[in-house]
């Protein structure tokens, strides 16, 4: 075997190993995306926050793998290697997870997996907003609570950062902080967001976006929704 063939063989072996590693990471990313969709459907926001952190680390690992992947083929056979790389990129692209496919998959799941019209439930307990959900795994109710001050901070952030009818995503509103730059716990932000969704204060716009009508986040409107939520639970 000539030195050129040996170099070409080593290059191909290295590329194949990197591609295998990328596929493993991409599969894990796809599975995490599916878990996040399930958490959103079940309104399990604490678990969603933890999985989102893992997904962030995984995305960083994918970027690192891409950066370190061998890019240059041996000079004597570069055109041939470029052709293989193009074919490889097509293969990797076809197996990469997309948010559209994940959401379509989640949307296709039968709604009977969650008790329709029953959960989540919201109530006001003193100065706290309470969300009651149903755990399929434990087959029992669970509760998440948010201080009303946290609810007000989320509403304030939405109102000041986005004008009425302007589309935004829930990920864009983080972090939510008070005057002392203390962050509102992630699960409390998601809880408040779910409450605003459930009360139709926030309207779904497209695949990932949300928006609100003029006046929907005003103090009087939020007070009215709070009163209705409190009255429904009594």
pLDDT in tens, 26-41: 777 677 776 766 666 5
| Residue, of 132 and 50, whose pLDDT is higher | 132
pLDDT digits (tens, 9 = 90+) for 187-199: 999 999 999 999 9
pLDDT digits (tens, 9 = 90+) for 105-157: 433 444 334 444 478 999 999 999 999 999 888 889 999 999 999 999 999 99
Write out the E strands in 110-196. 121-125, 128-135, 140-147
**Collapsed DSSP state (helix, strand, coil) of residue 134:** strand
pLDDT at 111: 38
The pLDDT of residue 69 is above 80: no
Q: What are phi and psi of 224, to 5 degrees?
A: -65, -45
Run of H or E residues at 30: helix 3-42
Q: What is the pTM of this model?
A: 0.53
- CA–CA separation, 230 and 67 (whole Å): 53
- CA–CA separation, 123 and 130 (whole Å): 5
| Degrees, nearest 5: CA angle 63-66-72 | 155
| Residue ranges covered by each domain of the chain | 3-109, 112-233
Contacts of 217 (CB under 8 A, 6+ apart): 155, 158, 159, 201
Contacts of 36 (CB under 8 A, 6+ apart): 48, 51, 52, 55
pLDDT at 223: 96
pLDDT at 91: 39
Run of H or E residues at 184: none
β-partners of residue 179 are: none
Length of the chain counted residue by residue: 234
- CA–CA separation, 190 and 115 (whole Å): 20
* Torsion sign across C-alpha atoms 13, 15, 18, 20: negative
pLDDT at 70: 46
């Amino acid at each position: 075997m000539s030195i050129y063939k040996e170099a070409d063989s080593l290059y191909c072996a290295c590329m194949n190993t990197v591609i295998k590693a990328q596929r493993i990471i991409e599969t894990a990313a796809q599975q995490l995306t599916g878990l996040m969709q399930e958490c959103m459907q079940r309104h399990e926001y604490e678990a969603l926050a933890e999985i989102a952190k893992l997904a962030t680390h995984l995305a960083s690992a994918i970027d690192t793998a891409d950066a370190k992947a061998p890019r240059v083929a041996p000079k004597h056979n570069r055109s041939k290697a470029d052709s293989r790389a193009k074919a490889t990129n097509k293969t990797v692209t076809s197996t990469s997870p997309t948010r559209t496919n994940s959401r379509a998959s989640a949307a296709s799941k039968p709604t009977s997996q969650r008790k329709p019209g029953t959960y989540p439930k919201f109530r006001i307990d003193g100065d706290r907003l309470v969300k009651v959900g149903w755990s399929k795994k434990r087959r029992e109710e669970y509760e998440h609570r948010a201080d009303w001050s946290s609810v007000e901070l989320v509403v304030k952030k939405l109102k000041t950062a986005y004008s009425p009818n302007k589309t935004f995503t829930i990920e864009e509103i983080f972090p939510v902080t008070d005057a002392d730059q203390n962050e509102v716990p992630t699960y409390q932000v998601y809880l408040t967001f779910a409450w605003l969704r459930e009360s139709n204060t926030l309207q779904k716009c497209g695949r990932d976006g949300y928006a609100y009508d003029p006046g929907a986040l005003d103090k009087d409107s939020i007070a009215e929704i709070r009163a209705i939520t409190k009255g429904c639970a009594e």
